[in-house]
Structure 1
Amino acid sequence: MKVLFIGGSGLISSASSELAVARGMELFVMNRGLSARYPLPAGAVHWQADVRQAPDAAARLLQGHFFDAVVDWVAYTAADIEQDIGLFRNMTRQFVFISSASAYQKPPGHYLISEDTPLANPFWDYSRNKIACEERLLAAYRQEGFPVTIVRPSLTYGPTQIPLCMGSWQHPWTALDRMRRGQKIIVPGDGTSLWVMTWNGDFAKGFVGLLGREQAIGHAFHITSDEVLTWDQLTVQAGHALGVEPDIIHIPSDLIAAYWPHAHGSLLGDKARSVVFDNSKIKRFVPDFVATVPWQEGVRRALAWFEADAARQTIDEEANQVWDTIIQAYLRAFPSS
């Protein structure tokens, strides 16, 4: 099977690249440059080109090729999708768009999320843009048979990422460092919101199983773990992996967003809401898919990666300052907390 990844050098896509090559797929990866953190697996072909900024250069590389599946990991707007439709209209049997589970209805109308859950997120531009991408692709599927499959990852992590609810995506060690130094760790709400963490290698098993699967054309899928934990449990287990008991402080999400605009979308539009996913659809289409890495094990693997090299333990000082400001504001109102 001949597969093209657009992007393909991120946390989720790197695990999918490794598995695709391990399963004997002929993998081509087109992006702006290779990542030192997420190197391509041996056997993959790298094309250096920016499909967004230099589409003509990308088209020249693609000339004469036809793919069983093309995956765009870096499409975020309807304009990106319009470009993809024009570029790959007659070049692939399957076009896979990476959407987001944050596109599902917020707040949810039902606790259990399936692929039939409505798409609506009034809090986050990122999610609304993903919804617009899906709508354009499904219109192309209905009107001209464009062979789209939509995949909606939820919060997926791996060896290089420990994504706590109030953390820094670019500097994940920041929250772990706070735990080690005995500083307070913010958990939004009362800590009982339910959440699902998915190890990137587990996601890859479901994802790669969809590639080249004709029956998946016209369908949307989310691919997550079946393990459901509260944000308190996720935070405590991360602390225990470090060998500490985290000092959790519960702060309302609205207060957090008032002091940290970044949190408006990613918190009010995503992590502050309980999510429980019904994975029966991906299991029907990919019968051997099963997530086998629980958070308690995954966070230990990620912790080992960070502790193997002190240079990886970077700190987001700006986030630290914002979190301390939020905590001080809350303690002024509730000094006994």
Structure 2
Amino acid sequence: MNVLITGGTGTISSGLVRESVRRGFNTYAITRGNHSHKNIEGATYITGNVWDRDSYLDGIKNIHFDVVVECLVFNPLQLEYSLASFCDICDQYIFISTAVLEIPSDNSTVSEDSALDYGGREYVRNKIACEELLATYFKKKKEKYTIVRPFFTYGAYHIRYGVDSSYDEYANIYRIKSKKPLICFKTYKVPFVNIEDFSRGVVSLFKNSLAYGEVFHIAEQGKETTWEEVYKLVAKSLDTDAYVIHLPKLLFQMFVPRRYEAIIGERGRNYSVIDNKLKKAVPGFSQLISNEIGIANTVGKIVDEYKANELPRDEEYQLGIEDAIIHAYNRQLITQEEKEMVEKYFEKTDSFLDEKNVKRTKSKLQEFYDVLIKWIGLKQKKQEIGEFLKHNGFDTVAIYGMKELGKTLYNDLKLCGMTIPYCIDARVDDVCKDVATTVITPDEYSDACDVDVVIVTAIHYYEDIFLQLWKKKKDIPILSLEFIIDEMLMR
């Protein structure tokens, strides 16, 4: 059997290549050649751009494929190009879609016939459109196509988390190894499938008459797991513990916005898979790889890859986690047990950020500009920071940082009738001459009267300021002006 797989070095595509080779099929893969260390022995790799036919045509010239598996299509335009390239040279075209386009029922079950999430994020809507295009394209030739909907697959060099980086596979491993807190949300159960098991299921659909014109999940009913359990198994493979903080979903929108849509639309749902259809087409299918073993093997590969290569780190993701934890701690949005966990972490941390790996992604001037624009937006909506603070029970305020933002905030809060017993700034004799209240240095903060909240206007240095003040008074919330404005804008 001749098999062609687009991609070949991604999590799904590499797993399919490996299983196809294992079964003795003549297996070809089209790749750009950028990750040749992930190539599978026994497969033929064709270097080319799958969106440029001329770059790979010589490699597949005069070959008719029994099966083509399309792993790289994410929208209908790409699908049209792929069909034009491969449809006439194969007997069965398998499209890798996604199972998260399905909406779980009231009891969290999902099957291939579940309602589709037409209102979901763009990625999901595009996959739905691709499936509909396929059904139309092959309306009279159902034997020509099969749709596969993966759930949360992991393996090779990739692990799925409830909240993960967009590209940094080492991000959460780094946090676990460094004994840094991890962030998660409510305990959801999801199908979590090792790529070896997934690939066995898909390859069993090759030239399978029961698969023609059909849609399949590749997951076993009853093998669902929680995102917290994933963290714990990763930690176990590293001979340590995972310190998980459960946060409200709103905070993910504030601090890890690039992941928020996936959290709300996919990973923040319970999925209980119904696998009758798959087991009818592939009798005896089951997930043979335990998550403990599968995750341990995957962690080992990721760690080895990061040791061998200078791969980029996702600094924005690390900052988002740190900021979200600080914010949740200050606003008492976590449990007492989690609060104690965070306090232990703070106490043993000289600097809240690992300066070698985590640096601010925006310049100080850019952050100042962004906050000012958002503040103007609040003013245009006739929303006042002082009224927001009073609504949340903050009547007395100390302001840290008395340059432009600090002075503006001071005047703004006074107009709202707020009590500001003192301000804090290291340069008392420099920037604080025209401030009509007591100004103290950070060293004097421990002896100052208690306030309901400290607001930091030196937003670029918030994390270090937070740690400095928190160690002096642990019961007073310390909020960044940026956090307050962002939270007001989202209400």
Under a length normalisation based on structure 1, what TM-score does the superposition of the two structures give?
0.90
Q: Which residue of 1 aligns with 2:477?
A: none
* 1:2 and 1:25 in contact (8 A); partners too: yes
Alpha-carbon distance, 1:155 to partner: 1.3
Q: Output one character per residue of 1:12-55: Cα deviation in whole Å (capped at 9) or x when no partner.
A: 2112111111211111212222523421322x222222121x22
Change in 2 beyond 3 A, CA 1:177/1:34: closer
Q: Which residue of 1 aligns with 2:169?
A: 172
Secondary structure, aligned partner of 1:166: coil
Change in 2 beyond 3 A, CA 1:290/1:313: farther
Alpha-carbon distance, 1:300 to partner: 1.6
Measure the CA separation in 2 of the matches of 1:82 and 1:292. 36
Q: How many residues of Structure 1 are paired with residues of Structure 2 in the alignment?
A: 332
Which of 256, 260, 265 lines up with 1:264 in the alignment?
A: 260
Which of 196, 199, 205 lines up with 2:200 in the alignment?
A: 205
Measure the CA separation in 1 of the matches of 2:71 and 2:105. 26
Q: Which residue of 2 aligns with 1:215?
A: 210
Q: Which residue of 1 aligns with 2:53?
A: 55
Which of 317, 326, 336 lines up with 2:315 in the alignment?
A: 317
Secondary structure, aligned partner of 1:83: helix
Q: Does 1:251 align with 2:247?
A: yes
Measure the CA separation in 1 of the matches of 2:218 and 2:99. 9
Q: Output one character per residue of 1:222-271: Cα deviation in whole Å (capped at 9) or x when no partner.
A: 11244222222222232233222322111012321232221222211111
Measure the CA separation in 2 of the matches of 1:104 and 1:39. 33
Once the two structures are aligned, what percentage of the paired residues are identical? 26
Q: Amino acid of the residue matched to residue 249 of structure 1?
A: I
Which of 217, 231, 236 lines up with 1:235 in the alignment?
A: 231
- Comparing 172-181 with 8-17, which one deviates more in the overlay? 172-181
Q: Output one character per residue of 1:62-105: Cα deviation in whole Å (capped at 9) or x when no partner.
A: 44332111111101110111122222332211000010112112
Alignment gaps of 5+ in structure 1 = none
- Comparing 217-226 with 197-206, which one deviates more in the overlay? 217-226
Which of 173, 184, 187 lines up with 2:184 in the alignment?
A: 187
Q: Amino acid of the residue matched to residue 51 of structure 1?
A: V
Alignment gaps of 5+ in structure 2 = 340-491
Q: Amino acid of the residue matched to residue 262 of structure 2?
A: S
Measure the CA separation in 1 of the matches of 2:139 and 2:106. 28
Measure the CA separation in 1 of the matches of 2:218 and 2:6. 20
Q: Output one character per residue of 1:296-328: Cα deviation in whole Å (capped at 9) or x when no partner.
A: 221222233344463469643221111111112
Change in 2 beyond 3 A, CA 1:90/1:302: closer
* 1:6 and 1:73 in contact (8 A); partners too: yes
Secondary structure, aligned partner of 2:117: coil
Q: Which residue of 2 aligns with 1:294?
A: 290
Q: Output one character per residue of 1:135-178: Cα deviation in whole Å (capped at 9) or x when no partner.
A: 00011121555711000111111142232222225323221222
Alignment of 1:1-337 (within 5 A): 1-33=1-33, 35-42=35-42, 44-52=43-51, 54-59=52-57, 61-105=59-103, 108-143=105-140, 145=142, 147-168=144-165, 170-189=167-186, 192-226=187-221, 227-308=223-304, 310-311=307-308, 315-334=313-332, 337=339
Larger Rg: 2
* 1:185 and 1:249 in contact (8 A); partners too: yes
Alignment RMSD: 2.3
Measure the CA separation in 2 of the matches of 1:103 and 1:326. 28
Q: Amino acid of the residue matched to residue 5 of structure 1?
A: I
Change in 2 beyond 3 A, CA 1:34/1:207: farther
- Comparing 136-145 with 317-326, which one deviates more in the overlay? 136-145
Measure the CA separation in 2 of the matches of 1:61 and 1:173. 34
- Comparing 154-163 with 313-322, which one deviates more in the overlay? 313-322
Change in 2 beyond 3 A, CA 1:40/1:301: closer
Measure the CA separation in 2 of the matches of 1:90 and 1:217. 16
Alpha-carbon distance, 1:282 to partner: 1.5
Measure the CA separation in 2 of the matches of 1:307 and 1:95. 35
* 1:159 and 1:303 in contact (8 A); partners too: no
Q: Amino acid of the residue matched to residue 197 of structure 2?
A: D
Q: Output one character per residue of 1:260-297: Cα deviation in whole Å (capped at 9) or x when no partner.
A: 22122221111111112122221211124221112122
Secondary structure, aligned partner of 2:20: helix
Change in 2 beyond 3 A, CA 1:112/1:37: farther
Under a length normalisation based on structure 2, what TM-score does the superposition of the two structures give?
0.63
